[in-house]
Chain A
């Protein structure tokens, strides 16, 4: 039943490696973008607050599939943006990362914002009393504490991101779901086995992430 594993016809590990890479690059990107967004949403400049709020509300309510397809059809096919990628495989990967960052950043932003809310008011007040500017208050005092309290929610975001990378199959990025699609067409006798293999792959990716970051979140939590 699991013959297709030995046939050498399918690069199972390669596909999952692409999934892992997609996840890692998008995770780093969305962490940065999400932090910037959160900074905007609490900043003293009203326009930035408006922009941050509007962006988060717009993007969070758009299906990820629409965002990723828009990256491919709009940015690449229409505007000719390749993000420095060479062939279509490369471009598809980069576009998928861009779409995932744009989408996941909003969730990082919202997680961080609730984290900022858990930092006692006294902390920010004390920092201001020392004469720190807004950027200093945020980066030196508030955000470090906020990050420590949102490790668990961010872990959930990361796990959701791992699963969301499958949407990149819609623009033919050669990741796990894309391979699964062609495999269930060609190996239709072994449908259950194919599904089992891919499901196991994702369980193996998400479960340790959850366990590890759960442990980390307990370690770093601010004791109050």
Chain B
């Protein structure tokens, strides 16, 4: 009798737990299933790579990835998008979870030890986003008396601290949208990261006219398409696709569509350097 009572009690706990689990079932899919291609992109950067509320994907990286995939023989519906957060990009490629990564991925010597790149397909610079009515920042030295915001652990944050403006008051937040809140409400003076990402935020419908790029080219960031080390065949194919995209004007169109509203003067398409 006591036993049955406690058994019911246990059952209640179990049911509580099970109903909760039922809400989120795991997903299982692997890369490399036939007829499909898996591409890693950012999910949370407007203008670059963004998952929209209706489950679609948009942004410059998405456009480039779609074009490249088409040249490789995959229709848009055959693409499986996978989130590639900055810290995970090398792992995703090395584990074969994705076929390639198009995620504002700067080509650096350090990264080239772990993965190979195709491209570059875009030349970005570290820059600052300021409020539209603020013209007090003209070069990097002005930053020393300013309040800056960037994302925890980003290279942009390290650059500021080590090179451009060691005395600047730098706040590191979990994401760019947090910085944007502070920028909008004057808790910070500028948000710093690659100008492509900044332009993406400034071009958003709700932000148009509120922010502008300061136009300081603090660094050169060559965005490449990351792929598995040693896959020279894929590298060559992707390079060809990028060249074609630039030639037929799709590249220019994608840049204008995604970054245009911010009054962002993009660099011309860079020359392909990553060949083997």
Contacts and interface: CB of A to CB of B under 8 A. Distances in A.
Interface in B155-175: 169-174
Interface stretch (B100-108, B180-188, B210-218): B180-188
Interface of B is mostly: mixed
A79 B181 CA distance: 10
A76 B169 CA distance: 15
Interface string A189-218: 000000000000000000000000000000
Contacts of B185: 77-80
Contacts of B172: 172
B240 interface: no
A170 B173 CA distance: 8
The residue among A80, A88, A170 with the most chain B CB atoms within 10 A of its own CB is A88
Contact of B181 (A73, A170, A172): A73
A182 B188 CA distance: 24
B268 interface: no
Contacts of B147: 88
B40 to A, nearest CB: 20
A172 B152 contact: yes
Nearest to A170: B174
A77 B182 contact: yes
Contact of A88 (B153, B171, B174, B186): B171
Interface residues of A, number: 13
B183 to A, nearest CB: 9
A3 interface: no
Interface residues of B, number: 16
A87 interface: yes
Interface string A79-92: 11000000110001
A77 B153 contact: no
A87 B153 contact: no
A78 B178 CA distance: 10
A80 B186 contact: yes
Interface in B91-141: none
A73 B187 CA distance: 10
Contacts of A170: 174
Nearest to A74: B181
Interface in A158-204: 170, 172, 182, 185
Contacts of A87: 169
B153 A185 contact: yes
Contacts of B173: 172
A92 B170 CA distance: 12
A101 B172 CA distance: 23
B171 A78 contact: no
Nearest to B169: A87
B153 A73 contact: no
A156 B74 CA distance: 60
Contacts of A92: 171
B39 to A, nearest CB: 26
A146 B173 CA distance: 42
Contacts of B170: 88
A185 B152 CA distance: 12
Interface in A89-135: 92
The residue among B153, B172, B173, B178 with the most chain A CB atoms within 10 A of its own CB is B173
Nearest to B186: A80
B174 A76 contact: no
A77 B187 contact: yes
Contacts of B152: 172
Contact of B178 (A77, A80, A185): A77
A166 to B, nearest CB: 15
The residue among B153, B169, B171, B182 with the most chain A CB atoms within 10 A of its own CB is B171
Given A77-B181, A77-B188, 9 more contacts: A73-B178, A73-B181, A76-B182, A78-B181, A78-B185, A78-B187, A80-B185, A80-B187, A172-B171
9 contacts: A76-B182, A76-B187, A78-B182, A88-B147, A88-B169, A88-B170, A172-B152, A172-B171, A172-B172
